[in-house]
Structure 1
Amino acid sequence: MAKRGEARVGEAPDKEDTAPGPAKDTGGTPTGGDGAAPARKSAWKKRVVMAVIAVVVIWVVFAYVLPHFASYENVFQVLGELSAAQLTLLVAVALANLVTAWSMYQVSLPGLGFWHAAQLMLSQNLISNTMPLGAPLSLGLGYEVIHSYGFGAQDFSIMLGVSGIWNTFAKLGLPVVAVVLMVFAGHATGAFVTMALIGVGVLAVAIAVFALIFWKRSLARRLGDLAGRAASWFLRPFHKGPVTTWGEGLVGFRDRTVSVARHRWIALSLVAIAYQLSTYWVFLLCVRFSGISASQVSWIDALGVFAFARLVSMIPITPGSLGIAEASFTGFLVAAGAPQPEAVAAVLLFRGLTYLMPLPLGLPAYLAWLIKRARKRHKTAEAEGAS
């Protein structure tokens, strides 16, 4: 039986239990009164600084880094040679890749429909990939969207937690698989092996930590308290903290996610692998259609380029890793033996399909949700007026 404030998955929550309310006192910076204005001012300063950094990084990459490899004239000449059949195949594979992306949401949250998962993912993607600090803004939008489907805040945290864990493990594990294949093929370099070893270490630590969290509630509480103390030490020079609720918070996260993970780990693993492989398939097609042959960059080397560039792109500096991803993919691809104009063309084509193409799909998805919500509120207001 669900506790008060904990809606069963797939059931509509009570509004008073799930609607955002006043923040609880956690022993940190006050949320109201005299402390509210400085906190808002500090948040805006951070957003402005991050926006400036993002713009500078993007400008440097597209104005200096990519032209260092090849002129845009040569790049567009390569892209102009693509046939209609090649473009059609690329778009079809990229759309299939999108389906695997929102399928992870569907598998992570029992009761979430296919089209609702698509609308949620595309709407969040629109915000997170177009705005500086778009990730936290997309979380707020995601909560509003998921709540309109009849789910509660805890259901949303389950979906994000489970899908995030499996996607991260898949992304960290792929470089290891790539290096093993490169070693057997005799293509592994010292730099790739070093990065793979780092990935193995991070993956092992992550698996160990999550295993401890899901094993016992007491260990989850201890790890949360330990992380809270570390965060408090870091925040002390900024006159913030202490963080006192992470222990209980991690226990709650553990309790909410362990059931889904226990019963759906096979489906979660298959979808996570399918998402990584379908994204790689888009990348490999872009490489081949841009004129980079298998004798120049084999499919195994392309997998290594893809895996390690995606690892570097996890650094959250710009929206959607714009600029960071392009520089990483191009650098690794040229290092693997690709001609420079073709390498830049392949990367820009790949990013166009995986970064830009979902954006115009996200806009109608978001607008459709806004219209549906407005109609629902209008009907509710009419019903209340009639009564």
Structure 2
Amino acid sequence: MKNKWLQITLSVLSLGLAVLLVVYLPQIVRTLTGKPVSWHEIGKVFGTLGPGEIALMTALWLLSLLAYTFVLTNSLPGLNNLQGLTLNAAGSAVSNLLPFGGAVGVAVSFAMTRGWGFSSRSIVVMTLVSGIWNTMFRFILPAVGIIALLAAGEAPNATVAKAGWTGAISILVLCVIVAVALYWDRAAVVLGRALDGITRLLRLKIHASDAFHKLRADTAGVVRSRWAGLSLGMVFFLGFQWAIMAACLQATGAWPGFAQSIAVFALSRVLTSVLITPSGAGIMEGGVVLLLTEGFGVGVAPATATALLFGFWTYTIEIPFGGLALGAWALLRRRNGRNAGAEPPSAISKAQ
């Protein structure tokens, strides 16, 4: 009971902090950048949005949701796209309301998929595989953002450029090594030995290779047969989310350039990992405004409006949408339960 009330208290505090960070975003922006901005100025930027721009953002948002269903359907063979959309929406709604909400989201996903007749084993594999692919692409994004800026000549000097290329390539190489090790037996053995060497060097009392080989054994079948679908799903999902960011930047007059927009998007996705607030809400907006204004010279009002607008399409709107999806699933489950209970015993025996 103590743990339950502690979790409730922390969740309320975390969600309250997220609301406060957004409400006081103009003051936070002024502290970070030294440039004043008011809600009136931000509201004037919002007032310039036209129906066509809003329709475009809505379409891109729906396409991003659809793209992610392919990650789920490839993680869980037999799952269809409508089920994947429902699963993604419900899980996102829970994660966006609670700090560390991913664990609750997994519980919701487990209940929904079990209700659709999937085994516990296959659901665990889906959770592991989709989690691995999300993590890998979350690592890849900063590297892509750095490379985009370097290619656009945004590095202040040769030393910074060299460090940037080294860091970006190192991240990409690490992700490739992990991906290959998940697919190829010999690479897995080599990586397992390397992990053990690192843990011995750090004097950690864990067997990293055992944990890795267990993870690989659990996910090997899906990874080997469906890695291409998983990767394409993540690429299109993130591509549509970047397109939402680009649409927000264009609509508010904050467009800093193609490469710069990729860097802003990459930073926004990294900051969602800051779990002080649910999905980094409030933290993400501040980081985006800081990069746009201080890094790329965008006006403070357009930059702030962009951050809030992008936060709406990637965070806020998912809460009511996910709530509707979860409610529809619960109603259908209850109705199906009533129908099963009303079915005559003879019909039930024939169906079996």
TM-score, normalised by the number of residues in structure 1: 0.74
Letter of the 2:266 counterpart: A
Q: Structure 1: any 5+ residue segments left out of the alignment? A: 1-39, 235-241
Q: Distance in 2 between matches of 1:102 and 1:275?
A: 9
Distance 1:178 1:134, change over 3 A: closer
Aligned to 2:303: 343
How many residues in Structure 1 have an aligned counterpart in Structure 2?
333
Correspondence 1:187 to 2:154 = yes
Q: Distance in 2 between matches of 1:247 and 1:46?
A: 33
Cα offset, 1:148, TM superposition:
0.8
Q: Check the 8 A contact 1:50/1:317 in 2, yes or no.
A: no
Q: Distance in 1 between matches of 2:289 and 2:129?
A: 32
Q: Check the 8 A contact 1:123/1:363 in 2, yes or no.
A: yes
Aligned to 2:80: 113
- Of 328, 341, 348, 2:287 maps to 328
Letter of the 1:177 counterpart: V
Letter of the 1:267 counterpart: G
Q: Distance in 2 between matches of 1:66 and 1:378?
A: 54
Q: Distance in 1 between matches of 2:137 and 2:320?
A: 27
Please show how residues 50-69 of structure 1 align to structure 2 within 5 Å: 51-53=12-14, 55-56=16-17, 58-60=19-21, 62-63=23-24, 64-66=27-29
Correspondence 1:306 to 2:265 = yes
Distance 1:112 1:53, change over 3 A: closer
Instruction: Describe the SS at the equivalent of 2:97.
Output: coil
Cα offset, 1:290, TM superposition:
0.3
Distance 1:249 1:178, change over 3 A: closer
Q: Check the 8 A contact 2:86/2:326 in 1, yes or no.
A: yes
| CA distances 1:83-138 after superposition (whole Å, capped 9, x unpaired) | 11111111111111111122211122211011111111111111111123322111
Q: Which stretch of the first structure deviates more once superposed, 200-209 or 343-352?
A: 200-209
Please show how residues 150-299 of structure 1 align to structure 2 within 5 Å: 150-189=117-156, 201=170, 204-205=173-174, 207-209=176-178, 211-212=180-181, 215-216=184-185, 251-293=213-255, 297-299=256-258
Q: Distance in 2 between matches of 1:43 and 1:272?
A: 35
Q: Check the 8 A contact 2:254/2:302 in 1, yes or no.
A: yes
Q: Distance in 2 between matches of 1:109 and 1:378?
A: 28
Correspondence 1:363 to 2:323 = yes
Distance 1:362 1:57, change over 3 A: closer
Cα offset, 1:324, TM superposition:
1.3
Q: Check the 8 A contact 1:313/1:328 in 2, yes or no.
A: no
Cα offset, 1:375, TM superposition:
2.3
Q: Distance in 1 between matches of 2:23 and 2:167?
A: 29
Aligned to 1:140: 107
Distance 1:325 1:379, change over 3 A: same
What percent of counterpart residues are identical?
23
Cα offset, 1:323, TM superposition:
0.9
| CA distances 1:300-340 after superposition (whole Å, capped 9, x unpaired) | 11111111232233222211211111111111111222110
Cα offset, 1:385, TM superposition:
7.7
Aligned to 2:89: 122
Distance 1:196 1:74, change over 3 A: farther
- Of 325, 331, 338, 1:378 maps to 338
Q: Check the 8 A contact 2:242/2:265 in 1, yes or no.
A: yes
CA RMSD of aligned residues (A): 3.4
Q: Distance in 2 between matches of 1:366 and 1:52?
A: 24
Distance 1:197 1:149, change over 3 A: farther
TM-score, normalised by the number of residues in structure 2: 0.81
Q: Distance in 2 between matches of 1:214 and 1:360?
A: 38
Distance 1:373 1:196, change over 3 A: farther
| CA distances 1:207-242 after superposition (whole Å, capped 9, x unpaired) | 54565465559959978x979x99xx99xxxxxxx9
Distance 1:110 1:87, change over 3 A: same
Q: Distance in 1 between matches of 2:165 and 2:318?
A: 30
Distance 1:143 1:189, change over 3 A: farther
Instruction: Describe the SS at the equivalent of 2:266.
Output: helix
